[in-house]
Amino acid sequence: MGYLIETTYFLTAVLFIVGLKRMSHPTSARSGIVWAGYGMVLATVVSFAHPQIIAHADSPNGVTNYMLMLIAIALGGAIAWWGGKKVQMTAMPQMIAIYNGMGGGAAAAIAAVELLKDHGAHPLPISVALMAVAGAIIGAVSFSGSVVAFGKLQELKFFKDDAKFRFPGQQKVNLAIFSAAVLLGLIIAVFGHPHGGLVLVFFLTALAFGSMMALPIGGADMPVVISLFNAFTGLAVALEGFVLGNSAMIIAGIIVGSSGTMLTFMMAKAMNRSVSNVLFSNWAALGSGEAQAVTGSLKPMDPPDAAIQMAYAAKVIIVPGYGMAVAQAQHKLWEMCKLLIERGATVKFAIHPVAGRMPGHMNVLLAEAGVPYDYIADLEEINEEFATADVALVIGANDVVNPAARNDKSSPIYGMPILNVDHAKNVQVIKRGKGAGFAGIENALFFADNTRMVYGDAQKVVAALIQGIKDLG
């Protein structure tokens, strides 16, 4: 039976890797999720036949274990199914954050069980106990940090003001809390047979560090932080897999940890920042007001006039952002694009790596609206084409199109790669109001001579553009 279990776990790992590979391209991403899902179902089902479960199957505890497993699967599956069906795309990042946190919390709970379990005459070897402690710290940090990330993205009242969580010497306090968690963990691992109270204090300290780590970080950086916590969860699961001798947990944890780490560094690079800068600089708040004053004025344009300019453009490049997601304007936007294509225009969509609130956010929304993948290009592919565009339409994006990132060394976003929207002959910006973006700074693009602001709800404005184009015949 042991060989069958291990062979099945190996097949599970293959399915995970195939799924992850297929998720790397939009055309195969959906099937990649399905393949990875098959792997997870297979690993879950075969766990019922694990020798450690089978050994106690005939005892009252064995029956209880099976019942608890079935109840947990039923409850978790039902909640996840309902949540997945109900969640809006705009709320997907916080859903990912809380689910990821649950994974870290589960790994920490496994560690707690192993550390408190009576191992009789065969206590945990120090090396195994150290891995359990490391997994506990990382999992607890991921759990509490992800809960904070959820609160910030959900814009819960307590988490709204980032500044109130910042104070002088904060990093030293965080270091002290982390050091205390590590010290307590070492005591538990080295001396063994820990008192329940000591384990409780250890976990509370680790949870406190995760919260303190995430609380001062601004909303603009939350996607990077969520990705980092995702990597933490994978690492915690892998460590607890070593503790339990479970190869499926080891492989799955390593895959999640490595892919999460790569994604974290890629997102930080897309903002021209290091991960340490994201975690420790508090740039979004501290940088506000440092940038050069923006010159010029905002120049409003009514939808009928914008429609005329759009209708007679030979090439249009559209830059979607979070505002499009909030307004659910992607379907109307594609309807407008089809009208332009029928009139002979070339239409493309430009996607910034950190557009929206998570990688791929805009791609998913456009795919939902039926936009063919051939019309979608990333920053490197499309940036040189803005100079040849008659109209660049920005719909709900802000910081990722701000020219200050190129030419204002005092700006908090200086050096961040941006879409060269300002190089287009004409720029239209659909925006609900005059507020700043996540970085909290004015956007120089909005004040440029070739930019016109079309104010209003994105879906309603695009609907007006569609009507205006139709009226031109």
Top-confidence residue, 307 or 252: 307
Q: Where are the alpha helices (DSSP H) in 154-195?
A: 170-191
On the question of pLDDT at 221 being above 90, the answer is no
- Go through the domains of the chain in sequence order and give each one's CATH number: 2-285 (no CATH), 303-471 (3.40.50.1220)
Mean pLDDT, residues 430-455: 80
Q: Is 269 exposed, middle or buried, given 0-12, 13-18 or 19+ CB atoms closer than 10 A?
A: middle
On the question of pLDDT at 1 being above 60, the answer is no
On the question of pLDDT at 435 being above 70, the answer is no
Any bridge partners for residue 320, and if so which?
395
Instruction: Please provide the DSSP assignment of 346-358 as one string.
Output: EEEEEE-TT-TTS
Quickly state the pLDDT bin for 283 (edges 50, 70, 90).
very low
Residue 152, both tokens: 């910030």
Mean pLDDT, residues 449-454: 94
- For residue 27, the model assigns a pLDDT of 75
Lowest mean pLDDT among 204-218, 263-277, 452-466: 263-277
Query: pTM value?
Result: 0.80
Mean pLDDT, residues 60-78: 81
- Burial readout 284-312 (b: 16 or more C-beta within 10 A, e: otherwise): bbebeeebeebeeeeeebebeebbebbbe
Residue tagged 């932080």 (tokens): 225
Catalytic residues: 399
Pick the closest to residue 93 from 328, 323, 359, 329 (CA basis).
Answer: 359
Question: pLDDT tens digit string along 168-177?
Answer: 888 899 999 9
Q: What backbone torsions phi and psi does residue 391 show, to the nearest 5 degrees?
A: -140, 130
Pick the closest to residue 143 from 181, 103, 171, 116 (CA basis).
Answer: 103
Mean pLDDT, residues 397-415: 84
- For residue 289, the model assigns a pLDDT of 43
